[in-house]
């Protein structure tokens, strides 16, 4: 919650006028607790897991022969019932693992120094922090993924994630509950090392999940579709 009762107080404390973005942030967040702002991630994740995979799902269900040349696995098609089952399983994991984890993880986020106040970070600061987060996540995720592909890790945990051998976007978070928790570590390390604003954290969580969905879509070579 912002420690200012009005925009005038905020401007006096900063010694300057608020930018347009800062005014929007003040009007939205001034009376909301930091915990409530952090919990926005639950809504963002639900919307991302539900909406972002849909374009490629529609392409798959269209059954267009002309699109087959763009598919990485042209002979494999998932039915609507298979996609719906995957989505239901992901939502089960969301409501019983991901959501509760978000509810209880705020003290850790507060401890590492994620802030919600003014001034807002510049676009350049947000960009550089996100770049650091992606590099750290990519490196640590690689090694954890390699561990999960060892005999014990695969048989006990990671095999669930590979039940969809021709995955769709919905399958990105389809995994054993332990894998969900383990792979939360790489996503958390970047903000822990270079903590920023809550807005940066929102963007990071959203972009990371969108990247995972695109990576796991597996059905179409997006570069070919674009070109």
Helix (H, G, I), strand (E, B) or coil at 221: coil
CA distance 14 to 208: 32
CA distance 200 to 213: 20
Please say whether the beta carbons of 167 and 82 come within 8 A: no
Tokens of 190: 């970047």
> pLDDT value at position 225?
45
| Share in percent of the chain as helix, strand, coil (round to 5) | 70, 0, 25
User: Which residues does 139 contact at the CB level (< 8 Å), separation at least 6?
Assistant: none
Per-residue pLDDT of the chain (227 residues), as tens digits, is 788 989 999 999 999 999 999 999 999 999 999 999 999 999 999 999 999 999 878 877 776 656 666 667 767 777 889 889 999 999 999 999 999 999 999 999 999 999 999 999 999 999 999 999 999 999 999 999 999 999 999 999 999 998 887 768 888 999 999 999 999 999 999 999 999 999 999 999 999 999 999 888 765 554 444 44
Nearest to 92 by CA among 46, 139, 131: 46
> pLDDT value at position 227?
47
Tokens of 181: 């928790």
> pLDDT value at position 216?
81
pTM: 0.90
DSSP summary character for residue 121: P
> pLDDT value at position 34?
95
DSSP for 91-102, written as a single string: HHHIIIIIHHHH
């Amino acid at each position: 919650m912002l420690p200012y009762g009005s925009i005038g107080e905020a401007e006096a404390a900063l010694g300057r006028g608020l930018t347009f973005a800062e005014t929007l942030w003040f009007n939205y967040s001034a009376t909301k607790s930091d915990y409530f702002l952090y919990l926005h991630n639950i809504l963002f994740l639900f919307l991302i897991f539900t909406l972002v995979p849909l374009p490629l799902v529609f392409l798959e269900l269209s059954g267009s022969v002309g699109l087959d040349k763009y598919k990485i696995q042209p002979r494999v098609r998932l039915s609507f019932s298979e996609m719906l089952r995957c989505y239901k399983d992901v939502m089960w994991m969301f409501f019983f693992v991901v959501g509760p984890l978000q509810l209880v993880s705020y003290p850790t986020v507060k401890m590492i120094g994620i802030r919600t106040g003014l001034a807002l970070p510049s676009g350049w600061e947000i960009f550089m922090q996100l770049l650091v987060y992606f590099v750290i996540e990519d490196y640590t995720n690689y090694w954890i993924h390699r561990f999960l592909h060892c005999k014990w890790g695969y048989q006990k945990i990671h095999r669930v994630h590979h039940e969809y051998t021709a995955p769709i976007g919905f399958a990105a978070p389809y995994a054993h509950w332990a894998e969900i928790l383990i792979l939360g570590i790489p996503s958390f390390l970047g903000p822990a090392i270079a903590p920023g604003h809550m807005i940066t954290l929102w963007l990071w969580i959203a972009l990371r999940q969108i990247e995972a969905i695109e990576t796991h879509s597996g059905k179409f070579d997006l570069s070919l579709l674009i070109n």
